A and B are shown apart, each in its own frame.
Chain A
Amino acid sequence: MTDLQLRGISKSFGRVQALDATDLSVPDGELVAVLGPSGCGKTTMLRVVAGFERPDAGQVSLGDRTVVGDGKFVPPEHRKVGLVPQEAALFPHLDVERNVGFGLPRSARSARVAELLELVGLPGYQKRRPQELSGGEQSRVALARALAPRPSLILLDEPFAALDAGLRSEVRNDVRRVLRETSATGVLVTHDQEEALSIADRVAVMRAGRVIQQATPVDLYSNPADLHVARFVGDAVELEAVSESGVAQTVLGAIEVRDGVGGRGVVLLRPEQLELNESGVTGSVLDIVFHGHDALVRVGLPTLEVVLRVVTPVSVRVGDTVAVKVRGHAQFYPLV
């Protein structure tokens, strides 16, 4: 496996600028999730890497091999880039064995197919038809098919979107395991932030044709590059603030922020950074949304509303007067 580098990739369709001089780098053996709302250019980026779209400008390299750029264009069949498309897209006229073995020379086929089916947890499925498989099984076969020729990179295009919730996390974990075991370099395109944060080594957030931020899931969640990214990767509590030398003054009191620029701006907190307390700013509970393991409690303060994540069981009820306190430090975004 090898690393992937995209530099200054632009692509427009008519007047629509799908990719705008964007960069992306995927280190060898890592799985990077490209996260963004629909229409942000993430699918175009994937198709550029696979070789189904020619970028208008920019360069793509796999390891030390340039596949696009400098007047070069390597066609998809010579890139050694595996693809797991949406809804699996197994060849309906071929059985599982011939699907998985599609990219293999005939001689090496059956041993490698058996090995891969074992790996994805479907041993003995060789003679099944795609129509006989469940959604999760189809995803696994599609993954095995993409991995079979030992590609230098594997692309996953919203591979779990069509699966129902319970199955999705199971298949997702299996895919993660298989990619780790084969030390595959991978790019996963998704619009589901929970999926991106839970499965990827790094997450690249895209907006309007550009990668805005690329970071580890933990870093992305706690230090989003701007408020848009912050809202996109999780629930956000935003407080107006004035910051000076690492302390921001807000309606919830003084909050320690990472040093940097001072002045007027916005402090970003995550709901789990707020807790119900005896002392603090008081307000009344407006509503409670129960999630099982935790609950989101909306509290009306004198000047604004905030949301708290509370571990269940929840001790307060709608209408109760509570006090809210901030825990830990926060991120400050000066006004521009």
Chain B
Amino acid sequence: MALLLPTLVAVGVALLPVAYLVVRATEAGWETWQEVLARPRTLELVVNTLVLGFLVTATTLLAGVPTAWLLARTQLRMRGMWSVFAALPLAIPSYVAAFVWVSSPLRLQGLFGSWLILSLSTLPLVILPTVTALMTSDRTHEEVARTLGLSSWATAFRVTLPRAMPAATAGALLAFLYVLFDFGAVSILRYETLTRALFATYRASFDRGATAVLALVLVALTVAAVFVERRVRGRAGRHRVGSGSPRNAQTVPLGRWAPVAYAWLTLLAFLGIGVPAISLTNSVLTGQQGGVDAAELLSATAVTAWVAFLGAIVTVALALPVGILLARYPGRRTAVLEQFAYAGHALPGIVVGLGLVFFALSVAQPLYQTIALLVLAYAVLFLPKAIGATRSAVETAPPVLDEVARSLGRSTWGAIRSVTLPLAAPGVAAGALLVLLSIMKELPATLVLRPTGVDTLATELWTRTNVAAYSAAAPFAVALVLVAVVPAFLLSRAYGRLGEGDQ
């Protein structure tokens, strides 16, 4: 199979960081393992991470499900606007939101700050799938329940909610993963989680063995969470209504609850969108007196665009054969390859960064501190996105077209080039754009791997925020919001729905 070799290369790239973490941690020896795992500090970090994770997850469920119900099932005025407001916080990188709140007069920090900001950022992960589930569930079930004597409240709790819960739970688990992965927000807000500690140990010491062990502890958590998330999502998928056109779900009038509903939606929109918007606008206006360093902003933007461009090209090039293979030869063996190629799904940016540092230091010294290594990290992180886009794009081109091309004298690659690729091109291009935008916002791997003197918008913002140079940081935050939110908004308009979040 002509596709197998390039696919194995992509899988190799995807597994590289974890492989070198394991190599490094093994070399460190049993004593290091014992020492790291027995440290009270390790336990504290794990507990801190999990506490934040559980708090955020619970919050997203408790706040997200009622919000989703408001958006899907009530006669809300300007429902479209509220839906966009509910989805947009996901597009704002968590470290930008953290910067906004830490530089606000409230100076939010620590567990409370991290909880609030990450909850606001991940709320859309629950709201969006729950809205979909509530809108697509056939109202016949509810009508049957009513004819069987249930009140509308009882119907909501015994019929509607159970049907929406799998989607909500899957979303909440994504929120949990988001917290495990998050580096920027907790770092800026000074809350000690595993990601933040990893970066600190890596910076402070040369005890790479201990860093590798700690990184593997985090990987164990993320892999477990990804595993559970997949199981739940699989079940959520089965609960969904199949093909056919279910009748529109019935909406109820808000009645005397209207003020409460609008107040709640306004509060969410204010916290999620309003505060960042006001704060950033304000800092731009006042920043003009402080003097924005236009040259640095321009150079950081150029660097960001350049590395994101390179990263997107490499990622899509690696993803193409994998996506075609998965679309054309679905089966148990290709599914295994898929799992490995999706390693980036379970690896936080900081872990990928550290893994590639270890890789460069032990076998590829010349790569250390190069843009090539940085681009490799982006490929590992965003391969899943690119593979997903390629796969669904290729699936729209019927395989019989390939076969006709073969019967007319084209080789496997010839058929891919002249038939599959032209048909899949729009989908692949959209995937490349998605990867490009994701890279532009990437922080932790960039922070660890960037060559000295190479600064992206994200690292500039992080560096300045870390030394509390808030007004100097603001222009970078504005630039990042423009990069993050505007395309997300346009894409959501183009596809008629708000896409999945990043991270």
**A residues with CB within 8 A of B:** 50-52, 75-83, 85-86, 89, 91-93, 102-103, 145-146, 148-149, 151, 155
Contacts and interface: CB of A to CB of B under 8 A. Distances in A.
Nearest to A87: B400
Interface stretch (B9-17, B120-128, B402-410): B402-410
B162 interface: no
Contacts of B422: 93
Interface in B396-448: 398, 400-401, 403-411, 414, 418-419, 422-423
B404 A145 contact: yes
Q: Which 4 A-B pairs have the closest CB atoms?
A: A103-B408, A76-B406, A83-B407, A89-B400
A50 B407 contact: yes
Contacts of A103: 407-410
B403 A76 contact: yes
Contacts of A146: 404, 407-408
Contact of B407 (A81, A91, A92, A93): A81
Contacts of B398: 89
B312 to A, nearest CB: 23
A30 B297 CA distance: 75
16 contacts: A52-B403, A75-B406, A77-B406, A77-B411, A77-B414, A82-B407, A85-B400, A85-B403, A89-B400, A89-B404, A91-B401, A91-B404, A91-B405, A91-B419, A145-B404, A146-B404
A51 B403 CA distance: 9
Nearest to B419: A91
Contacts of A149: 408-409
Interface in B373-413: 398, 400-401, 403-411
Given A77-B414, A85-B400, A89-B398, A102 B405 contact: yes
Given A77-B411, A77-B414, A92-B423, A51 B401 contact: no
Contact of B404 (A51, A80, A85): A85
Contacts of A92: 423
Interface centre among A76, A102, A103 (most CB of B within 10 A): A76
A32 to B, nearest CB: 18
A83 B404 contact: yes
Contact residues on B (Cβ < 8 Å of other chain), bracket: 10 to 19
Interface of B: 398, 400-401, 403-411, 414, 418-419, 422-423
B411 A93 contact: no
Given A92-B423, A93-B423, A86 B410 contact: no
A17 to B, nearest CB: 20
Contact of B403 (A83, A93, A148, A151): A83
B409 A77 contact: yes
Contacts of B409: 77-78, 80, 103, 149
Nearest to B397: A92
B205 to A, nearest CB: 56
Contacts of A86: 400
Contacts of B405: 91, 102
Contacts of A81: 407
B400 A77 contact: no
Contact of A145 (B400, B408, B411): B408
B400 A76 contact: no
Nearest to A82: B407
Contacts of A151: 407
Interface centre among B409, B411, B418, B419 (most CB of A within 10 A): B409
B401 A77 contact: no
A52 B401 contact: no
Nearest to A99: B404
Contact of A51 (B406, B408, B423): B406
A234 B405 CA distance: 37
Nearest to A151: B407
B401 A89 contact: yes
A60 to B, nearest CB: 14
A232 B423 CA distance: 41
A328 to B, nearest CB: 45
